[in-house]
Each structure stands twice: as C-alpha cells, then as structure tokens.
C-alpha cells in the first residue's frame, strides 16, 4: 500500500490509471512465466519419453545381437569363418605347386637320351670318384645326390665351389669326374673353376636347365633339366628346377646301381647303423643257440624225457636227430598242445610219434632277416639251423630275432 500511495503522489490525478496499468503488466508477466514453465515441462517430458524409447530399443537390439551371435557360433562351430577364403587359397596354391613340379619331372623323360647314357658310361669307366659341386639351392641338391651316389656303390662327395677356389680343389684329382649343378649354367663360382678343370684334365658332367650356357658348353656331357616355369608364382625361387635336378640325380644313381649289380648286402655295408644295418648285416649265426644251449634228443626218446630237455634248455622246442646226427624232426610247444588233444599217453609215447618230421631249416650264414621271412611265410615260431650235411648246429625263435632288433 505504501508503494501505491507513493505512485499516486507521483502520478497526480491519473494515479488510478497508472495503478491499473501496473497491475495489468504484473498479471501479463505472471501469465508469461506460467506459459514458459508449461513449455519447459512439456519439452522435458518429450525428452524423457524419447530417452526411454532409445534405451528400450538399445536393449532390444543388444538382445537380438546376442541371440544372433549364439546362432552363428552353433552354425559355424569349428570353422574359422574369417579364414575360410584364405584356407581355400592356400589349398589351391599347394595343388598348383604340386602340378607344376609333376610337370617338371615328367618333362625329364624327353631328356633321358644318349647324353644320359654317356654320363653313366663315363662314371662306370672312371677310376676316380664323382665330385659334386653346386651353389645355393643347387648346392643342397648336390649334397643329396652325392650322398645317394655314395650309398649305392658310386664313390662320391660334395665340394662347395667357393671353397674349391680357396684350396679345396686340392681334393680333386685328374681321375675324378666333376658333376656340376647350375640351373642357369652361368653360376660365377662354378664358371671360375672351368679353366682349372680343363687344365687338370678332369672330366665334367653338367646338370643345367640351359643347354646353351657356358657350363653346358664346357662339359663333356650335359644333362638337360630345363623346366618351363618355377612353381614359385614370381618364377624366381628355385622350386620346380631343383626338383627336376634332384630327380635326375636319383635317376643317375639308380641306373649306376643296376649297372654295377649292387646287392642288398652291398647296401648294408654302407648302412651299418640302426635297424637297417641290423636287418641287412646280422647273420643267423649271430643270434642262434648252439652247443650245449641247443636242445636235442635222439629218435626213440620217450616224450616225457623230450619234455624235460625242452624245459632245461628253455627254447620251447627240441631237435630230434637220427643215430648218425642228421636232422630227423622238431618238437615244439605247438606240437605238445596238439598232442594233448589226441589223448596220447605222455608217459609211454615216444617222440617219434608226435614230432614234426624234419621241419623248416635255416643256414648259419643266412641273413637273420631271411630266417624271419621263412618263419612269417610258414607261420612258425622256431627254426633249426643245419650244416651242409643236414646236421643241426643251432636253433632260434622269434624272441631271439626280436631281441636282436631284426623285427
């Protein structure tokens, strides 16, 4: 009221109008504020509704995604889906490589000609050794070829061409034959040796993919191992070419092996170690039981006495001999089982009525592996070893061969 009185004094006779205007202005402001509050509240409500809808949609999408992922895991369990195309590419690449290398090997058939025969004849006629040389991948192949030649009757060894230029040429004599591997035929380390090889009068066989190369022209004989394309997609890495060189080396080694009449026993002397050496070198004489260890009875011995002999010697068998010492037969554990089925009086029966007449035999100088084959072929577990007069000198069974490492 005090404020109204002051306004009335200031407004003079129109104070009533002034107050009315002020009241109207205050009411308008109050209405405006109320409207603003209502608008703000409406906007807040809309925002809250929109937020709730978005949250609900997010939850729904997440649930659906989890369910979809679970389905995918069940469907593609065990399959690396991200690498399926890569796996297919790897398999195709491997198939392509094998096909190209097969083609390279088949292509060698056309190059097995008079030059191959001349190379074999040179090596067979040589009084020296085969010295294999090669650089890089050809060097690795050369090492293997030298090893194959040496183990199949052709004396051979590998010399690194770079080392040959620094002293190792002293390992090579004029009686030797050099087998030089170079796909290009222009390998610098080998070409460098050519003048010295010619000066020493050493015969040279080249293995190249380029018959017109420096190396091929310098050689007495060139074995052509040309390939149309390397298995490497860049046609750079030695792949098909090294395979072709390796196969040519094997063909050379096997041809020489057959020409020399190389036998399994010869092979054994270059492979004395391991199971291979035991199979090829071990003789029956090395594993058989002889002398007092050999169970034997004469014809006419009672079966019970023969069984006692088997028990004492522990071989599961006994030899039966004639009066003059020749082999009459053999009696084994298997024969005993068959005898029991026949209901024979063991106390009174003689060994003659139940033994296996003569039976399979082996010789003392026979390979133990051969004796094993006799046992396997005839499904028997023991062999009698006889001399040239058919007199038993020993016996062996499967356990003896097993202990010796032949099986």
Cα 122–Cα 250–Cα 232 angle in degrees, nearest 5: 120
Q: Which parts of the chain register pLDDT below 70? A: 1-84, 272-278, 407
369 is written with which tokens? Answer: 């592996």
251 is written with which tokens? Answer: 């063909």
* Backbone phi and psi for residue 180, each to the nearest 5 degrees, phi listed first: -105, 125
- Taking a C-beta distance cutoff of 8 angstroms, is the pair 280, 264 a contact? yes
Give the whole-angstrom CA distance, residue 256 versus residue 242.
21
Is CATH 3.30.70.260 what the domain over 104-262 is classified as, yes or no? no
Full DSSP string of 244-261: HHHHHHHHHHHHHHHHHT
The predicted structure's pLDDT at residue 336:
87
On whether the pTM is more than 0.95, the answer is: no
Residue 320, SS3 per DSSP? strand
Give the whole-angstrom CA distance, residue 335 versus residue 332.
5
Cα 189–Cα 190–Cα 193 angle in degrees, nearest 5: 100
Residue 171, SS3 per DSSP? helix
Structure confidence by residue, pLDDT tens digits, 345-400: 878 889 988 999 988 899 998 888 888 889 999 988 889 999 999 999 999 988 88
Beta pairing partners, 130: 156, 177
CB count in 10 Å sphere of residue 352: 15
Helix ranges (DSSP H) in 261-302:
264-269, 274-281
Beta sheet of 327-332, edge-to-edge order: 296-298, 317-321, 327-332, 356-357
Q: How far is CA 1 from CA 19, 21, 395, 406, in A?
A: 11, 16, 145, 131
* Beta-sheet pairing, 177-181 with 203-208: parallel
The predicted structure's pLDDT at residue 75:
36
The predicted structure's pLDDT at residue 88:
86
Sequence ranges of the domains in the chain: 33-71, 104-262, 284-403
The fold of the 284-403 domain, in CATH, is CBS-domain (3.10.580)
* Beta-sheet pairing, 356-357 with 327-332: antiparallel
290 is written with which tokens? Answer: 């002889």
CA atoms within 13 A on the CB side of 295: 23
- Measure the N-to-C terminal CA separation of the chain; round to a whole number of Å: 129
The predicted structure's pLDDT at residue 67:
47
Q: What is the DSSP letter of 213?
A: S
Count the helices and strands in the chain (H runs, E runs). Answer: 16, 12
Q: How far is CA 214 from CA 141, 184, 219, in A?
A: 21, 9, 9
Annotate 118-140 with b (16+ C-beta within 10 A) or e (fewer).
ebbebbeeeeebbbbbbbebbbb
Burial label for 377, CB within 10 Å (0-12, 13-18, 19+), is exposed
The predicted structure's pLDDT at residue 275:
66
Beta pairing partners, 330: 319, 356
Beta sheet of 156-158, edge-to-edge order: 156-158, 130-134, 177-181, 203-208, 221-224
């Amino acid at each position: 009221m005090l404020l109204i009185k002051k306004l009335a004094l200031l407004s003079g006779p129109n104070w009533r109008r002034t107050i009315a205007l002020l009241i109207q202005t205050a009411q308008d402001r109050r209405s405006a504020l109320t409207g603003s509050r209502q608008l703000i509240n409406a906007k807040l409500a809309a925002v809250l509704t929109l937020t709730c809808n978005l949250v609900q949609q997010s939850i729904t999408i997440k649930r659906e995604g989890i369910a979809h992922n679970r389905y995918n895991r069940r469907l593609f369990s065990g399959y690396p889906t991200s690498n399926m195309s890569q796996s297919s590419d790897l398999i195709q690449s491997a198939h392509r490589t094998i096909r190209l290398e097969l083609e390279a090997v088949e292509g060698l058939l056309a190059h097995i000609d008079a030059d191959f025969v001349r190379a074999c004849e040179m090596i067979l006629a040589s009084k020296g050794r085969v010295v294999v040389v090669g650089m890089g991948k050809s060097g690795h192949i050369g090492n293997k070829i030298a090893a194959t030649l040496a183990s199949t009757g052709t004396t051979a060894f590998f010399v690194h061409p770079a080392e040959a230029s620094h002293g190792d040429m002293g390992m090579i004599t004029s009686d030797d034959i050099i087998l030089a591997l170079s796909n290009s035929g222009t390998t610098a380390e080998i070409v460098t040796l050519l003048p010295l090889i010619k000066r020493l009068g050493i015969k040279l066989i080249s293995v190249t993919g380029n018959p017109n190369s420096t190396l091929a022209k310098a050689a007495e004989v060139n074995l052509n191992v040309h390939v149309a394309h390397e298995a490497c997609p860049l046609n750079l890495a030695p792949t098909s070419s090294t395979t072709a060189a390796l196969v040519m080396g094997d063909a050379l080694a096997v041809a020489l092996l057959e020409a020399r009449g190389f036998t399994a026993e010869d092979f054994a002397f270059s492979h004395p170690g391991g199971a291979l050496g035991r199979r090829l070198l071990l003789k029956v004489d090395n594993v058989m039981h002889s002398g007092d260890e050999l169970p034997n009875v004469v014809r006419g011995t009672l079966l019970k006495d023969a069984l006692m002999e088997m028990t004492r010697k522990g071989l599961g068998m006994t030899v039966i001999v004639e009066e003059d010492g020749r082999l009459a037969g053999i009696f084994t554990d298997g024969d005993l089982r068959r005898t029991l089925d026949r209901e024979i009086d063991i106390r009174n029966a003689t060994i003659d009525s139940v033994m296996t007449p003569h039976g399979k035999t082996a010789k003392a100088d026979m390979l133990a592996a051969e004796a094993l084959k006799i046992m396997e072929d005839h499904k028997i577990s023991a062999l009698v070893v006889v001399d040239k007069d058919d007199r038993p000198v020993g016996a062996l069974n499967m356990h003896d061969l097993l202990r010796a490492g032949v099986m």
